[in-house]
Structure 1
Amino acid sequence: MIQTLQFSNFYSFRDDAEVSFEVGRQPAASQYDLSYADGSRGNKVLAVVGANGSGKTQFLKPLAFLSWFVADSFLNTEPKVRIPFRPHALSPEEPTCFELSFELDEEHYRYRLEINQHHVLHESLHLKTSRLYSYVFVREREEEGYTVKQKGFGFRSTQARQVRGNVSLLAAAHMHDVPLATSMVEYFRGFSYNLQVTGRAHYDHARLLNSALFFQDHPAMHRRASDLLCRLDLGLEDVELEEVEISGGGEHDVEGPLYMPMGIHRSAAGSFRLPFLDESSGTQSAYVLLHRILPVLEHGGIAVIDELDNDLHPHMLEAFLDLFRFEHSNPHQAQLIFSCHTSEVFNLLAKHQVYLVEKRDLDSEAWRLDDMVGLRADDNLYAKYQSGALGAVPEI
């Protein structure tokens, strides 16, 4: 479970920014609370709201980037390829920094990363042993190469120093069967997101087929997805998967069978089957969204979803938040952070669960509503946001 993330010089955020899932002592207990091993409270759900172009997507990207970098950079990066991110356009030579505090197997860890587009400058993992953190490993770039010090990490020193500069030491150690590194990689692979280097991964038919292929391999999750879609008033009685052949190659030119979700529609007048390509864009988007969310609910982890409300009626937002809210649907205390343009989110969440993002003088900044002086827990957040009193609205 994530506690906090600090980052700087990342896309439109030049100065220090923080994403905090921590809940202080003042907010009343709610079903959106989760419990950390030390007894403190955290949020299951955070919303990110702001005008177009303010930096909402960039505020979510650090979690997606860290997930990829820790889990997959060793296998998916060529030796001289740039690390796939961008620093702030006005600080291209300055390092980009991340610090993630999280809980894994009831232990508290802190992962630090400092990079430029060519090299890791610093990478370290610390474990909380009392009130303080002790290092597991520290990797530093120097003129002649890398130095690595470690304490019980178990990665051979000669191999650790030779890890190339554009990949994570954790990713490399996992490939050398270091047990803690494998646990870390599995943890970061538990992040599910719809983001890529250029921004949100927009819906297309290939994503629908990929989701269907996933659900074909996970029938219990497909049953759950079908039940949820049928409850969302989409006119569906059931959803079945049907093997199909798609000619023409291109983005669908894959080995093995492909599957098409088929919407089952019934009424007193009769019934029919409709391929999901002929269903509404909202129905298709909801199906792909459940592919991102249900594995996190099933196994634990975090879902990072840009524009959760895309193609969805505002009333459907609450149904997706409820999946994380209740213990029976979220037994492993999975977390969700999402951006949206739906103002109704202010009626669904408390002030310590909502971040606002705004861009001023080419720099994005973000703040949580409970950091605003004078804002009360019982204030009408929806009305204040709509009136512009909270900021983070377009000036039209």
Structure 2
Amino acid sequence: MLLRFRTANVRSLREEQELSFVVPQGEESDAARALELSDGKSLQVFPVLGVFGANASGKSNVITALKKMREAVLSSYGPWTSYTGIPDRQPFGLDPKAAAESTFYEADFVLDDGVRWTYGFELGDKRVESEWLHAYPKGRRQVWLDRDASRQSAYEFPGERVQDRARLARTTRANALLVSRAASDNHPQLSKIYDWFRSNLWDITPETELRQREAYTAEKLLDEATRDRVQELLRAADLGIQGAEVVRRSGDNAPTVKLLHGGTGDEPVAFDWANESFGTRSWFALIGPLLLALDSGAVLLIDELDASLHPRFAAEVVRLFQAPWSNAKQAQLLFTSHDASLLKTPRGGRSLDPGQIWLTEKDKGGATELYPLSDVDPGPDEDLADSYLAGAFGGVPNVSQGQIGRKVLTVLTGEAERS
């Protein structure tokens, strides 16, 4: 499970920002899961976090930073060989000094054996400036790797725990991560760090890669192990769908799907796929990846969850990860959204606890600040959706009612007078 993520100097994230799935001290949460650690202790960890904020406040950049960390881990040894430096680093663009400063990433996570790890690195334009790996098998920190490109001897392995360390240090390029290099040889100790990134931080944007995800969900309908759950999620979305027909024809790259809609007659009516609404197709395309994440216990990233889904569908996605009966493998969801309705249930209760709600705002210099709603300390009976929309917590546009219309009218009036 992912515990915390820290980053700095990525797009609008200028100073170090932290996102945490760990339940804040003193907060009671029915949604939290107890995560057993290898030292015998346990942590209360959220299965879901939502990042809310105004347009262009940096919500998507939080997910982008996580994606970029994963991309660096998976790609630095192989695909980056054709580059002389670090490709597509994207430091903060509104401060000229930022380009000369390194980009920082760090993740805390727990593997299946209960051992907590901290892995991080800093990237400059030309090289990996630093890289570190810490383990906590008995609760106390063990430093496995300490890399600093500014030292004469860049690599240190305190405790000499890492096998084959001399060869790894000698054969890791300046613009590659040592963990990536180790995984290329199936290193017996470090490959599990690489594998965690490969199996987690999957990114979904509902409006993109629609056909690929539709095809994947169709494959799930052909699989006896998942067919019933896919059909149940289609029916539960209240789209009038009673089932689905899936046919794989020889030579086709993907199965052909027809959803069965209830009509006035006794028999359901099969619609051609092209006649389905975009909302229905978006929900169908999301089901396959959702089930894959829930079945494997992965960390799923969904940018703009409400962009192409009805609020009811978006709330259903959150519910699937929150409910222990549907999320037995402790999968996690991080999503961004504008939709304040996701902050409460249809009956007026809270769908997310304050520690699960994160807000983004930009300061006067255009840099994003990320903070949890628990820092604002809302009242126990406060309607979080109403207070959020009223601007009590920040994270909403600083635009008064009618302001945009008045400005447009002023411009039009001025143009008319000039003509």
State the Cα deviation string for residues 185-240 of structure 1 (Å, max 9, x = none).
22112224336xxxx57425533454246536855335422321221011211133
Change (3 A) 1:74 1:35: same
Query: Please, which runs of 5 or more residues in structure 1 have no aligned partner?
Result: 246-254
CA distance in 2, matches of 1:32, 1:281: 34
For 2:104, the equivalent position in structure 1 comes to 97
Structure 2 residue aligned with 1:249: none
Shift of 1:167: 2.8
Any residues of structure 2 matched to 1:204-215 within 5 Å, and which? 204-212=209-217, 215=220
TM-score w.r.t. length of structure 2: 0.83
Task: Determine the structure 1 residue equivalent to 2:408.
Answer: none
Distance in 2 separating the partners of 1:65 and 1:225: 31
Q: Name 1:116's counterpart in structure 2.
A: 124
Q: Could you give the per-residue CA deviations for residues 37-72 of structure 1, whole angstroms, max 9, x where no partner exists?
A: 221211111110001100000012222222222234
| Deviation string, structure 1 residues 355-395 (Cα, Å, up to 9, x no partner) | 010112211111101111x5223221111111111111112
- In structure 2, relative to structure 1, the CA distance for the partners of 1:79 and 1:163 (3 Å cut) is farther
Distance, in Å, in 2 between the alignment partners of 1:154 and 1:283 is 51
Counterpart for residue 178 of structure 2: 169
* 1:231 counterpart = 2:227: no
Residue 53 of structure 1 pairs with residue 56 of structure 2: yes
Specify the alignment match of 1:20 in structure 2: 20
What percentage of residue pairs aligned between the two structures are identical?
25
- Alignment of 1:285 with 2:304, yes or no, is no
Alpha-carbon contact 1:160-1:173 (below 8 Å) kept: no
Structure 2 residue runs of 5 or longer lacking an equivalent are 345-350, 400-419
In the alignment, residue 240 of structure 1 is paired with which amino acid?
E
Alpha-carbon deviation of 1:83?
3.0
Matched, 1:181 2:181: no
Partner-residue secondary structure (3-state), 1:118: coil
1:339 counterpart SS class: strand
* Equivalent residue letter for 1:12: S
127-136 or 35-44, larger mean C-alpha shift? 127-136
* Separation (CA, whole Å) in 1 of partners of 2:233 and 2:327: 14
In the alignment, residue 95 of structure 1 is paired with which amino acid?
S
Identify, as 1 or 2, the structure richer in strand. Answer: 1
Alignment match, 2:142: 134
Structure 2 residue aligned with 1:252 = none
Which residue of 322, 338, 345 maps to 1:341? Answer: 338
> Could you tell me whether the CA contact under 8 Å between 2:210 and 2:282 is conserved in 1?
no
Q: Deviations over 1:150-207 (max 9, x none)?
A: 6322234224332223332222211112122222222112224336xxxx57425533
Q: 1:205 to 1:103 in 2, by over 3 A?
A: closer
Rounded Cα–Cα distance in structure 2 between residues aligned with 1:344 and 1:216: 31
Query: By how many angstroms is 1:282 displaced?
Result: 1.2
Say if 1:4 and 1:20, in contact at 8 Å, map to a contact too. Answer: yes
Structure 1 pair 36–369 and aligned structure 2 pair: CA distance change class (3 A):
farther
Match of 1:260 among 240, 256, 259: 256
Structure 1 residues 72 and 219, CA gap change in structure 2 (3 angstroms): farther
Asked whether the 8 Å contact 1:124–1:138 carries over to 2, the reply is: yes
TM-aligned CA deviation for residue 308 of structure 1: 1.3
Q: 1:24/1:205 Cα in 2 relative to 1: closer, same or farther (>3 Å)?
A: closer
Conservation of the 8 A alpha-carbon contact between 1:36 and 1:103: no
Asked if structure 2 preserves the Cα contact closer than 8 Å seen for 1:192 and 1:292, the reply is: no
Considering only CA atoms, is the larger Rg found in Structure 1 or Structure 2? 2
> 2:26 aligns to what SS in structure 1?
coil
Looking at structure 2, the residues matched to 210 and 24 of structure 1 have their Cα atoms a distance apart, in angstroms, of 40
Would the alpha carbon gap of residues 224 and 155 (structure 1) be closer, same or farther in structure 2, given more than 3 Å must change? farther
Tell me the residue number matched to 2:371: 367
The answer (yes or no) to whether the contact 2:59–2:360 under 8 Å persists in 1 is yes
Q: Give 2:307's match in structure 1, choosing from 297, 307, 310.
A: 310
Q: What CA distance in whole angstroms lies between the structure 2 residues aligned with 1:240 and 1:169?
A: 48
Q: Deviations over 1:323-371 (max 9, x none)?
A: 1112221111111110011101221111111001011221111110111
Cα deviation, 1:236-263, whole Å, max 9, x if unaligned, reads: 1113332368xxxxxxxxx973223321
> How far does the alpha carbon of each residue in 1:292-319 deviate from its partner, in whole angstroms, 9 at most, with x for none?
3221210112111101122211122221
Partners in 1 of 2:258 and 2:190 — Cα distance? Answer: 41
Distance 1:349 1:209, change over 3 A: closer
Relative to structure 1, the CA distance from residue 102 to residue 55 in structure 2 (aligned partners, 3 Å threshold; closer, same or farther) is: same
**Contact kept in structure 1, 2:57 and 2:360, CA below 8 Å:** yes
In 1, are the aligned partners of 2:49 and 2:333 still within 8 Å (CA)? yes
Indicate conservation of the 8 Å contact 2:128/2:176, yes or no.
yes
Report deviation, 1:122. Answer: 0.9
Name the structure 2 match of 1:33: 33
Q: Is the 8 A contact 1:148 1:161 kept in 2?
A: no
Q: 1:225 to 1:156 in 2, by over 3 A?
A: same
